[in-house]
Chain A
Amino acid sequence: MNDSEQAVTISAEGEVGIVEAQDFVARTRFEFESGGSIPELRLRYETYGYLNAARNNAILICHALTGDHHCAGVYSMEERKQGWWNFMVGPGKPINTSEYFVICSNALGGCQGSSGPGSINPETGQPYHLDFPKLTVRDMVRAQVLLLDALGIERVHAVVGGSMGGMQTLQWAIDYPERVGRYIALACGARHTAQAIAFNDTGRQAIITDPGWQQGNYTADAGPVQGMAVARMMAHITYLSDVGMESKFGRRRRSSAKEHFDVEFEVESYLRYQGQSFVTRFDANSYLYLTKALDRFDLHSPESLDATLSAVTAPGLVVGFTSDWLYPPQGNRELVEALLRVGKDASYAELEMDYGHDSFLVRAPKLYQLMRNFLQR
């Protein structure tokens, strides 16, 4: 028996297989909420499954802060690393690509192919750097709207996202009620707590005070690498939980430490690795822009949370995770309480998991069942 036969017999679930990223380019000025604009908009995206004749089976997935458009499949047969939500997206999986046409785009302001501070301004031939306009979650959503227009999708079956993706999901439901069939927002909130802003700014300071940052005008081969690594190490701690880290690392040591401040504990090794690998895959200015957009996101403004959420018409599901201390269950609950106050069809479910904020990225049969039930109801 070869591998492929085995896969079929083991499970009714399949893989999306080899995927390819595509580029959407709108050659008209894209205006930002802040008043700034860029001469053209680029969004890199991937799709899985097929759009039906009625064009009503699309699901838009919004990724988290440092995630990307590659949420399922692999780029080649040799590649081992699958998309970040591979267990969630695929044939027979909770977001079933045999049934739905799934779209995931790299967020505006990001650095994996979409317009962002690191991309080239076609008017100058130089990277935007800090000339890139101030960014909001609403801008990210408006960019996705243009992508859906280009794909000929008037209304999606669902918008789904966790963390920053959850905020985009909520913004979608608020700004484009007629285009959203239903929505699922995981591990998010109506706005950042003081603690979340504090963590983000500490990360930003680590980058900005790194001499390599050069007021944002660094070149590709020499950037604020130390600042980025430290920012990532700290942020990564906020994505995990006390209990999760304890069971994963405890006080386990490495025998290789010679000097006093060498890597001694496993947790140090893990975080340093996370920091180093982040530097190679993420752009520092993108990180600054995106975290700032998240800190400014506030559904309580301009009037009140209830007033903001009054615009929603689609049924929604919000999911909180007990060990998430970055976007605690309370902030997720608050959203649903407000939605119910204003008479919306909204549900709140809470999962007891030890993986902290990253729980929504972890294999969890209960979460799968919940998402299936909601998407199919």
Chain B
Amino acid sequence: MYSKNAKKRQADFQVIAQWVGEGERVLDLGCGRGVLLEYLKQTKGVYGVGVDIDFDRILSCVKRAVPVYQGDAHEILASFQENAFDRVIFSRTVEQFEDPDATLREGLRVGKRVTVGFVNHAYWKNRVHTAVRGRRIQNEVYPQPWYASLPANPFSVVEFEDYCREKNIHIRNKVYLAGDWRNERKCLPNLLAGYAIYDLSK
């Protein structure tokens, strides 16, 4: 079976950290065990708040001294005023939201900037996997079989960029990572990027 890959899990940290200013207010929706926020606190001195639904992950955040809120991302966003945070981060969480459009737009209301990181499901290996094997992708990033996975709504680089265009969301920056989630890939991102990270604003 596949075990989770810690390096891959933290692939977008450095890219996100580049976009975060010193001492900014950061909200990380789907913060997991608070590793990214701890990193941003150490490297950028941010005031970071995490949100996650799972109690065990909350335990880890509390241990890391990362302020954290156990609950639903959409619900907590509703409690914040406009531009309450300098940056709202969605790192590998958008595909699991019940209403991704509504939550992203709430993120853009609450954050001056929004960071979205996601797995590009049109990456060529993913296409080949599905085409050749006729099976759902199962690898180190998605270690669980379909019946043990959370409902997910996978999408691709072009689909996300179409969405931003349609909703007039401004893409300030973007970084495409290759299949190893390390090296940058500039050309043919929809085919060659395994992971994409966007810096967005209204």
Contacts and interface: CB of A to CB of B under 8 A. Distances in A.
Decide whether A and B are members of one complex.
yes
> Could you tell me the dominant secondary structure of chain A's interface residues?
mixed
A116 B187 CA distance: 77
A345 B67 contact: yes
A299 to B, nearest CB: 16
Q: Report the interface size class on chain A.
A: 20 to 34
B68 interface: yes
A350 B62 contact: no
B49 interface: yes
A177 B197 CA distance: 41
A373 B80 contact: no
A374 B47 contact: no
B62 A347 contact: yes
A350 B84 contact: no
A348 B63 contact: no
A58 interface: no
A373 B70 contact: no
Contact of B62 (A336, A344, A377): A377
B25 A347 contact: no
Interface in B55-85: 55, 58-59, 61-65, 67-71, 76, 79-81, 84
Nearest to B61: A347
A252 interface: no
A370 B62 contact: yes
A366 B81 CA distance: 33
B84 A347 contact: no
Given A373-B59, A373-B62, A341 B69 contact: no
Given A341-B84, A343-B25, A377-B65, A333 B71 contact: yes
A336 B69 contact: yes
Contact of B81 (A341, A352, A369): A341
A348 B58 CA distance: 8
Interface string A79-91: 0000000000000
A68 to B, nearest CB: 29
B59 A370 contact: yes
A49 interface: no
Contacts of B67: 315, 340, 344-347
Nearest to B62: A373
A347 B69 contact: yes
A373 B63 contact: yes
B62 A337 contact: no
A199 to B, nearest CB: 26
B26 to A, nearest CB: 12
Given A315-B65, A341-B81, A341-B84, A350 B71 contact: yes
A118 B141 CA distance: 66
Nearest to A376: B63
Contacts of B81: 341
B106 to A, nearest CB: 14
A348 B69 contact: yes
A366 B62 CA distance: 13
Given A350-B70, A350-B71, A351-B55, A340 B49 contact: yes
A119 B84 CA distance: 50
A349 interface: yes
Given A348-B71, A370-B59, A373-B59, A341 B80 contact: yes
A369 B59 contact: yes
B91 to A, nearest CB: 19
A317 B62 contact: yes
Interface centre among B63, B65, B70, B80 (most CB of A within 10 A): B70
B62 A341 contact: no
Given A337-B76, A341-B81, A349-B58, A377 B71 contact: no
B49 A374 contact: no
Contacts of A376: 63
A360 to B, nearest CB: 15
Contacts of B70: 348-350
A349 to B, nearest CB: 5
Nearest to A377: B65
B112 to A, nearest CB: 15
Contacts of B61: 347
A376 B62 CA distance: 10
B62 to A, nearest CB: 5
A374 B58 CA distance: 11
A343 B71 CA distance: 18
Contacts of A343: 25, 47
The 5 closest A-B CB pairs, nearest first, are A337-B79, A373-B63, A373-B62, A377-B65, A348-B69
17 contacts: A315-B65, A340-B80, A341-B81, A343-B25, A344-B67, A347-B61, A347-B62, A347-B69, A348-B69, A349-B55, A349-B62, A366-B55, A370-B62, A377-B62, A377-B63, A377-B64, A377-B65
Interface of B: 25, 47, 49, 55, 58-59, 61-65, 67-71, 76, 79-81, 84
Given A343-B25, A349-B58, 18 more contacts: A315-B65, A317-B62, A336-B69, A340-B49, A341-B84, A343-B47, A344-B67, A345-B67, A347-B67, A348-B68, A348-B69, A349-B59, A352-B55, A366-B55, A369-B59, A373-B63, A374-B62, A377-B63
